[in-house]
Structure 1
Amino acid sequence: MTSLISPEDLIARLGDPNLVLLDASWYMPADPRDPEAEFETAHLPGTKRFDFDGKIKDHDSDLPHMMPTPETFEAAARALGISAGSQIVIYDGAGIFAAPRAWWMFKAMGHDAVSVLNGGLPAWKDAGGPIETGPETAATPGDFTASPATERLASAEDVLKAVNGQAGQPTAIVDARGAPRFEGSQPEPRPGLRSGHMPGARNIPFDQVLTDGKYRDAEDIRNIWAAAGLPDQGRVIASCGSGVTASVLALAAESAGLPTVTVYDGSWSEWGQESRSELPVTTGAA
């Protein structure tokens, strides 16, 4: 499977016994949308809810929707009916926003047969795709086995080594937040966080790789990458507010044939904490 699938191609694959559809909709706390209520109003046939903010997360972490342990993730995936041979397609109600986070989680847990519906639920409706209503139906448990791909996931310590030039290989950092937050001229929406960015980080606001709720084509994404000063070889670590829109950039890179992007799971919700003075912060343009 490719990293992105069009509504038309997915319509043609409906009925495939290996196909598993997941709704990973999530919205910023200030957004009044309710993903659970919206799911019952309209979802793709046979879709299951993939709730990475309330359920499939590290419940012992104070940080928002952090990656759970492999054991927890494996159990959740099996409960959704996912097996080793499953071909997963993930979408969200915004078009492209939260689905790449779930895509990245499966990639980081070693499942490569996973795609994101380009344009999400809005594009599906525009293409005339069938819609179901009501709660999700129970799944027959699968046999998914988590096999973590460590190159997909970065910790604060990994990012600090990159900032200090101690990563062992050339490593660039890219931040998916908007320019005002990146530059430190706009306060963070979460309390207790400093403003600014990691020293040496580049800035690609996640919406730059999108157009009309879909990903731009590969050439546009490669040009955006180059304009930000990011290499087309070597390691790139993506960060954002809490690891969601960093995943949008990770999927953009994969769809454009660029090297695998590592996502810093804690992102600014961890790095920017006022109590973490050992994690340096700077302000101004990239």
Structure 2
Amino acid sequence: MASQAAPLLITPSDLADKLKSPAGISILDATWFMPNAPRNAREEFMNSRIHHSQFLDLDGVASPHELGLKHMMPNSQTFAKACVEKLGISRDTRVVIYDSHGVFSSPRALFMFRAFGHINSSVLDGGLPRWVDEGYSATSGSLATPKFGQYDAPQLDADTIRSYEQMVSNSQLEGDAYEILLDARAKGRFTGIDAEPRPGLSSGHIPGSYSLPFNLFLRRQSNKKGDLEYTTFLSPSEIREALNTAVGTTKAQDIVDGRKPVITSCGSGMTAAVLWLGLQLLGVRKVGLYDESWTGYAMRSGSKIEKST
């Protein structure tokens, strides 16, 4: 595994410089759409993508879940097999991940790589739309066959993932023992006023959690043509302001200083990684992610659900 961590975020110009000598670099399109969206990520990838990139199917590179949930964290063997057989990645490959939203699903892919110790990995801030908007070209058509490498099954950092049982236990704790839980869903879903996008699933939140919609860590941009919007990360100081607003300045300081561990959650474990990455940009290292998130929690009949106005 690479001994030095790559920057968490890179810009299109950074990537363009690296692609002048593309050997040892793997570029991954990790675009994912909500199940009810009338779009197909793989088809869009074939029609427009960054040169040399491969498609990372976050639903396909996942371990089975007892509730049938998608894009769950793979086990080490599944991750290693996907890296070698589908993506041509070896342990020392420089990995750059993007999506076609700007910032949406790419942080989830980065979380996966980092959780397995592949720290030579980054997200392209602004993704494919920013890449094109800054004058770099996209390509289409057939893909080059990735070169197979060697990738022994790595060990997952167990501190990065939280289970349902851990979440139930955490919600019953108080004081220093409680891990702060940040919920990345929209505020209306958190309070229970708005419905969940998954039919039949109750809205609301896990007792003791805080609402921090993931888009509060992002800036909405318009391209130069004015016909497309995309997202990029806010500056660290602006991310800190959003965190202060969500949990209060005292708890936010405890999080940033490492005195208080934090967990991120969302609807299905996807945008929880946006919060995870935003906190990483603040230098926070004690960040876990509730992998199955609200869908897994609310599907279980014994779960305690709070609603508020």
TM-score between the two structures when normalised by the length of structure 2:
0.87
User: Retained in 2: the 8 A contact 1:24–1:92?
Assistant: yes
Q: Which runs of 5 or more structure 2 residues have no equivalent in the other structure?
A: 1-5, 221-230
SS at match of 1:133: coil
Amino acid at match of 2:246: A
1:170 Cα offset (Å): 3.7
After TM superposition, the structure 1 = structure 2 runs for residues 141-180 of structure 1, keeping only pairs within 5 Å, are 141-145=148-152, 146-165=154-173, 169-180=177-188
SS at match of 2:27: strand
SS at match of 1:161: helix
- The structure 2 residue matched to 1:47, chosen from 34, 46, 53, is 53
Aligned to 1:224: 242
After TM superposition, the structure 1 = structure 2 runs for residues 97-136 of structure 1, keeping only pairs within 5 Å, are 97-136=104-143
- The structure 1 residue matched to 2:283, chosen from 237, 247, 257, is 257
Aligned to 1:8: 13
Q: Which runs of 5 or more structure 1 residues have no equivalent in the other structure?
A: none
Inter-partner Cα distance in structure 2 for 1:167 and 1:46? 50
State whether structure 2 residue 212 is matched by structure 1 residue 204: yes
User: Retained in 2: the 8 A contact 1:253–1:260?
Assistant: no
Aligned to 1:236: 262
Which moves more between the two structures, 150-159 or 115-124? 150-159
Aligned to 1:32: 38
Aligned to 1:247: 273
CA RMSD of the aligned region, Å? 1.6
User: Retained in 1: the 8 A contact 2:183–2:265?
Assistant: yes
User: Retained in 1: the 8 A contact 2:29–2:53?
Assistant: yes
- The structure 2 residue matched to 1:183, chosen from 191, 194, 216, is 191
Inter-partner Cα distance in structure 2 for 1:224 and 1:38? 33
SS at match of 2:96: strand
1:108 Cα offset (Å): 1.5
SS at match of 1:221: helix
1:256 Cα offset (Å): 2.2
- Number of positions where the alignment pairs a residue of Structure 1 with one of Structure 2: 282
Inter-partner Cα distance in structure 2 for 1:60 and 1:195? 21
1:53-92 Cα offsets, whole Å, 9 max, x none, are 2x11123541122112111111001121111111111000
User: Retained in 2: the 8 A contact 1:107–1:152?
Assistant: no
1:144 Cα offset (Å): 2.5
TM-score between the two structures when normalised by the length of structure 1:
0.94
User: Retained in 2: the 8 A contact 1:238–1:263?
Assistant: yes
1:95-150 Cα offsets, whole Å, 9 max, x none, are 11111111111111121111100000000001112322113221111223322111
